[in-house]
Structures are given as structure tokens and as C-alpha cells.
């Protein structure tokens, strides 16, 4: 979340940035933050003044008793009792202001980086890179939801029977292809210097607050209410929270983590042809990369992470494009986000397969994730970054559609050692 000093020192810049992100209540909310902070500071000063008066009166009581001035000592005792009562009232008020301020700060999105373009819709995002060639498929080419039936790779009906819509059952070569992609992505991350983690799939409320998924305004997280735990929407949440309340040495940075997990998203309100088959699921697999960095290094690292993800797409021989999201299409917590999309040959549309984002200090301020500079300066908030490398469902959709031939579905060369087969045949 934004810090109060960050808001006070850069008020106009913060408001301008929030308006770029289409946060309509920007000016009103920032003014409310500053008013609450003023009230909190004023109350704190009153309490501090009372404490100083109490300490002085308590000292005076002993002196008056030694001097035999019992009546004056008793009056001082009565004043100390009054001060304690007033101080308690101020303490309660101070706690109330602090809680109100914290809850209000939770509602304010991150300020976008200056490179973020203006815009409100996906159509206003800016393409910054393309790679690969779109396949030339015959008019009879099938979309992936037909191919998975024809080749018996995934069973959506069984998933509906067991759980509900959006929870597919992978089987046979479909399951093997899924496992191959996971291992391929993990091995590529390990080769790039990431350390692998296998985190829990449920997190507590503090973890959701730490990375900005809570308060969950859109109702996208599955909530296990009996234990007040949340199914993770991405491995970003548990992996980044490994470093909650941690002070790292500067020499430890950057920290590079990778993890494979299933991901769970309610996707409330999703419907229509664009969510058919693997295009949008409630449960899906993803390999996530996370880095913790010094502020001066984080945007160089963001580009490295973007190149890592696009390198995977190149190895998978998938045509792709990279877009930088405009202010109105960005996530709540991000300062700058690249989306990576692959071309779906049979659907003839771009499918998002990765978001690579820099959160600057937005998450680390919530997490109290800091590092100690080697020069002996005070502890500093680190920058956090993460990216999908990669999300599997739409990758599989594009591989199936783009790789279809009269003989079967061709597997990219880089993936063949992981699959154990070169073609998927009927």
C-alpha cells in the first residue's frame, strides 16, 4: 500500500497517477487520508503531552511527601489519576484513527509508473514486441475444445461431475503434456538462477493482505470460512509472503524464487464464447517467478523477467506479442505490467499467458519487507516483482491449435524430451 509520507511528499503526483489508473475517488480519498493522519498526529501529541505531565506530577508527588506537603501531594495524585483516564480515552481514539487510516490505505491502488500509457480499456494497451510467425492453418482447423475431444486429452464433463464447470480432468497424453510443460518451465527457471519453492495452496488473511489480494473487492478468491483461509489465486501470494516481516541484507538481493502451484480463481461474472475450453478456468496450473530487489535495480530486473518469459514462448515456437498495460487496464497493486499473449491459430485471437509486473514498494510496505543497505543507512523497503512463466491452460490451447496437422498434433522440439513423444495421434 502507499505510505502516508509517500502521499504527503508527492500529493499531486499521487493523485494524477491514481486518476490515470481510473481511481475516480483519488482526490477525495487522498484528502481523507491526510485529514486522518493529521487527527492521528494531533491525538498522539496530546497523549505524549499528557504522559510528560504525568511523569512530572509523579516525580512531584514524592518530593511533596518528603516535604510534608500531604494535601498538595494528594492533589497531585488526583491529577495523575485524571491524566491516566484522559490518556486512555486518547489511546482509544488514537487506535481508532490508526485503524481507519490503515483500512483507507488498503482501498487505494498503487500509483502507475510514468511509462504507463493513458487509457481505460484493453484496446488502449500498447504493443512493444512481437515474435514468431502465425501458423497457416486450413479452414478446417479445429479450436482446442474440439481437438481435446478428438484426441481424448481433457474431459470437462468429468470435471463438472466431480466439482463443477471450470475444473477440467486431464488424462492420457493431455496429462503428460501438462506435466511436461510444468517441468520444462521449472527447469528453465532453475537454469536462470531461480530457487524453487513448493508453497502451501492455502494462505491466511495476513498473507492475502500482504500482497494486496485482500481486501478482496471483486470476490475472486475462494474462502474456506471455517478456518478463515484462502485458496491461492497465484503462487505470488505464498512465495512473496515467505519474506513478510523480514529484513534482508543488501548482499542477498536480488532474491529469485520460482514455484509451481495449482491456482484457484472464482472468475465471477465470466461467461461467453471467449471463455470456452481452456480459455478461462477456476483451477489451473502455473509456474510463477518472483524477485525481491533494490529499488534502483527493479526496472532492469523487470525487463530480465520479461525476456525470460518471452524466451519460453520462443522455445515453444509460439507466435507472441508483448503489450504494456494502460492505466485503466492495470492490476490494483502493480506500478507497471507487461502482458504476454500467444496467437491462437484456430480461434484467430490473442490469448494472455503471462503478466510480468513491478509493484515497487506497494507490497513490501504491507509486508514490512525491508533490506539493510551496506553503507549503514537505515533499513529500506525493497521492491517486489513477479510474473507468470508461464500459465498453462492457454499455452496448451495454442500448442494444440497451432500444432495440428493431418497426421496429428506436433509437439515443439524443446518439449519433446519432457513429453516422451513427438506427436499426439488419435
pLDDT in tens, 79-112: 888 888 888 999 999 999 999 999 999 999 999 9
Give 129's strand partners: 322
For residue 352, tell me if it sits in a domain.
yes
Q: Is 266 annotated as a binding residue?
A: yes
Q: Is 364 annotated as a binding residue?
A: no
Pair 281, 363 in one domain: yes
Question: What is the CATH classification number for the domain harbouring 200?
Answer: 3.30.930.10
Q: Is 353 annotated as a binding residue?
A: yes
pTM: 0.92
For residue 114, tell me if it sits in a domain.
no
For residue 133, tell me if it sits in a domain.
yes
pLDDT at 75: 83
Number of domains in the chain: 2
Taken in order 237, 242, 247, 251, the sign of the CA dihedral is negative
Instruction: Please give the mean pLDDT across all residues of the chain.
Output: 94
Q: Is 386 annotated as a binding residue?
A: yes
Count how many residues are written for the chain: 426
Q: Which one of 73, 106, 139 terminates a domain?
A: 106
For residue 265, tell me if it sits in a domain.
yes
pLDDT at 257: 98
Q: Is 357 annotated as a binding residue?
A: no
Pair 49, 127 in one domain: no
The pLDDT-based confidence of 58 (bands split at 50, 70, 90) is: confident
Pair 31, 69 in one domain: yes
Q: Is 354 annotated as a binding residue?
A: yes
Q: What percent of the chain has pLDDT over 70?
A: 98
pLDDT at 339: 98
For residue 117, tell me if it sits in a domain.
no
pLDDT tens per residue, range 259-282: 999 999 998 655 555 678 999 999
Q: Which one of 106, 137, 161 terminates a domain?
A: 106
Give the range among 197-211, 218-232, 233-247 with minimum mean pLDDT: 218-232
Q: Is 234 annotated as a binding residue?
A: yes
Residue 119 DSSP code:
-
pLDDT score of 49 more than 60: yes
pLDDT at 374: 85
Tell me the pairing of strands 229-231 and 408-410: unpaired
pLDDT score of 378 more than 90: yes
Pair 68, 139 in one domain: no
Q: Is 355 annotated as a binding residue?
A: yes
Q: What is the separation of C-alpha 275 from the centre of its chain, rounded to a whole number of angstroms?
A: 23
Please give the residue range of the domain that contains residue 31: 4-106
Question: What is the CATH classification number for the domain harbouring 20?
Answer: 1.10.287.40
pLDDT tens per residue, range 130-172: 999 999 999 999 999 999 999 999 999 999 999 999 999 999 9
Amino acid at each position: 500500500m502507499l505510505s502516508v509520507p509517500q502521499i504527503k511528499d508527492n500529493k499531486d503526483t499521487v493523485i494524477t497517477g491514481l486518476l490515470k489508473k481510473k481511481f475516480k475517488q483519488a482526490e477525495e480519498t487522498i484528502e481523507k487520508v491526510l485529514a486522518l493522519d493529521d487527527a492521528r498526529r494531533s491525538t498522539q501529541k496530546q497523549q505524549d503531552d499528557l504522559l510528560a505531565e504525568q511523569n512530572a506530577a509523579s516525580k512531584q508527588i514524592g518530593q511533596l511527601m518528603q516535604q510534608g506537603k500531604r494535601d498538595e501531594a494528594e492533589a497531585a495524585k488526583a491529577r495523575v489519576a485524571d491524566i491516566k483516564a484522559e490518556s486512555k480515552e486518547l489511546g482509544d481514539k488514537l487506535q481508532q484513527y490508526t485503524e481507519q487510516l490503515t483500512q483507507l490505505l488498503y482501498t487505494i491502488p498503487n500509483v502507475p509508473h510514468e511509462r504507463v500509457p493513458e487509457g481505460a480499456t484493453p484496446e488502449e494497451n500498447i504493443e512493444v514486441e512481437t515474435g514468431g510467425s502465425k501458423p497457416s492453418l486450413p479452414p478446417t482447423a479445429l479450436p482446442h475444445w474440439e481437438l481435446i475431444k478428438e484426441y481424448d486429452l481433457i474431459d470437462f464433463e468429468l470435471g463438472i461431475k466431480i466439482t463443477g464447470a471450470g475444473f477440467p480432468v486431464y488424462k492420457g497424453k493431455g496429462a503428460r503434456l501438462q506435466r511436461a510443460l510444468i517441468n520444462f518451465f521449472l527447469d528453465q527457471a532453475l537454469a536462470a538462477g531461480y530457487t524453487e519453492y513448493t508453497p502451501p495452496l492455502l494462505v491466511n488473511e495476513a498473507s492475502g493482505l500482504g500482497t494486496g489480494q485482500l481486501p478482496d473487492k471483486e470476490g475472486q478468491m475462494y474462502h474456506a470460512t471455517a478456518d478463515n483461509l484462502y485458496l491461492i489465486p497465484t503462487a505470488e501470494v505464498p512465495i512473496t509472503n515467505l519474506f513478510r516481516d523480514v529484513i534482508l541484507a543488501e548482499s542477498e538481493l536480488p532474491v529469485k524464487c520460482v514455484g509451481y502451484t495449482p491456482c484457484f480463481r472464482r472468475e465471477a461474472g465470466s461467461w461467453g464464447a471467449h471463455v470456452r475450453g481452456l480459455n478461462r478456468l477456476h483451477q489451473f496450473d502455473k509456474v510463477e517467478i518472483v524477485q525481491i530487489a533494490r529499488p534502483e535495480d527493479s526496472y532492469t530486473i523487470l525487463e530480465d523477467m520479461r525476456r525470460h518469459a518471452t524466451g519460453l514462448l520462443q522455445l515453444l515456437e509460439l507466435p507472441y506479442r508483448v503489450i504494456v498495460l494502460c492505466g485503466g487496464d492495470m492490476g490494483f497493486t502493480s506500478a507497471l505490467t507487461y502482458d504476454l499473449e500467444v496467437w491462437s491459430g484456430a480461434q484467430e485471437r490473442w490469448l494472455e499467458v503471462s503478466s510480468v509486473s513491478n509493484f515497487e514498494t506497494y507490497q513490501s510496505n504491507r509486508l514490512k519487507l525491508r533490506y539493510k543497505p551496506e553503507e549503514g543507512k537505515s533499513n529500506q523497503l525493497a521492491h517486489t516483482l513477479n510474473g507468470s512463466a508461464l500459465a498453462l491452460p492457454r499455452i496448451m490451447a495454442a500448442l494444440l491449435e497451432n500444432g495440428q496437422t493431418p497426421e496429428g498434433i506436433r509437439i515443439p522440439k524443446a518439449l519433446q524430451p519432457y513429453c516422451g513423444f513427438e506427436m499426439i495421434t488419435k
